[in-house]
Amino acid sequence: MNLTLKVWRQKSTSEQGKLVEYKVSEISEDMSFLEMMDVLNYKLIESGDDPVAFDHDCREGICGMCSMFINGEAHGPNRGVTTCQLHMRSFKDGDTIYIEPWRSAAFPVIKDLMVDRSAFDRVQQAGGFISVNTSGRTLDANAIPVPKEDADKSFDAATCIGCGACVATCPNGSAMLFVSAKVSQYALLPQGQVERKERVLNMVKKMDEEGFGNCSNIGACEVQCPKNISLDNIARMNREYLMASIKPEN
């Protein structure tokens, strides 16, 4: 099929960007969206132009690197998939496709469609970890009993791949879905109890410092999240934070 692409081109963080129109032809519907982008880039390279910079790594929906705002939606029109899992059969011959980078003050554009998501790393470093004894007598995680329901919820939260689609989609540029998934994943497990209170306090503090917006329960993040992370996690984080603020010591 033949497509018209309107791609955001921006040379660097400090320079102004704009949408540039490209035509691509002979796109197979079996191609993934990123493969279609590869076709465009080959074409650009052959004609001596600068290829479109975009993030990608695993191309199978697990690394969270790919990040495109496609036709007004994070990771495109399909639900529960990342951009790399989106296939061209979701589009029609002759379609015009808008491709833009994540928009958020906390995610500055590095180049074209690449944004700097290190703010997520810093939030994670502020508390998204557990202390484990490495003295040689490390407790086997499988030997610690965890109620099935908690294990399931924790696992669901842990499937967050840190892609940032939640922030990109949120009209408030809020990172609550991501942060709440990280908080929940540990709060539900025995291993996460030691830092439970300081974790939520520190991660929320860092989240605010990084310039993410405030959640107003619009709920768009949950809809656009490629891993279907639930808003229940945000409610859990709200509870965790409330408890930790009222009684900070364990």
Partner 1 sequence: MASAIFKSSLTKKFWMALTGIFLISFLVVHCAINATIFFNDGGKTFNVWAHFMGTNIIIRTMEIVLFAGLLLHVIDGLILYFQNRKARPVKYAYEKSSASSTWYSRSMALLGTLILLFLILHMYHFWFKTRITHLDVTNHVMMIDGLEYENLYAQMQLVFSNLIVVIVYVLGCISLFWHLLHGFKSAFQSLGFNHLKYKNAIAFVGDAFSVIIPAIFAAMPLAFYLKFIQ
Can residue 58 be called a binding residue for ligand FES (CB under 6 A)?
yes
CA distance linking residue 27 with residue 73, whole number of Å: 21
**Nearest distance in Å: CB 60, ligand FES:** 6
Q: What is the per-residue binding string for ligand SF4 in 161-190, x denoting contact by CB under 6 A?
A: xxxxxx----------xx--x---------
Whether 40 and 2 have beta carbons less than 8 Å apart is answered as no
Closest by Cα among 46, 44, 45, 96 to 70: 96
Residue 173 binds which entry of ligand SF4, ligand FES, partner 1, none, CB below 5-8 Å type-dependent: partner 1
Residue 164 binds which entry of ligand FES, partner 1, ligand SF4, none, CB below 5-8 Å type-dependent: ligand SF4
Residue 100 binds which entry of ligand SF4, ligand FES, partner 1, none, CB below 5-8 Å type-dependent: partner 1
> Does the CA dihedral 29-35-36-39 come out positive or negative?
negative
Q: Is 98 exposed, middle or buried (0-12, 13-18, 19+ CB in 10 A)?
A: middle
98 sits in which H/E element: strand 96-100
Among 34, 113, 220, 229, which residue sits at the site for partner 1 (rule: CB under 8 A)? 220
Can residue 229 be called a binding residue for ligand SF4 (CB under 6 A)?
yes
Whether 39 and 27 have beta carbons less than 8 Å apart is answered as yes
Closest by Cα among 53, 50, 73, 77 to 65: 53
Residue 65 binds which entry of partner 1, ligand FES, ligand SF4, none, CB below 5-8 Å type-dependent: ligand FES
Number of residues that bind ligand FES (CB under 6 A): 13
The number of beta carbons lying within 10 Å of the beta carbon of residue 199 is 23
Closest by Cα among 70, 68, 42, 36 to 54: 68
The site for partner 1 (CB under 8 A) is made up of 6, 8, 19, 69, 71-73, 77, 98, 100, 103-106, 169-174, 176, 204-205, 207-208, 211-220, 223-224, 231-232, 234-239, 241-242, 245
The site for ligand FES (CB under 6 A) is made up of 56-59, 61-66, 82-84
The site for ligand SF4 (CB under 6 A) is made up of 160-166, 177-178, 181, 225-227, 229
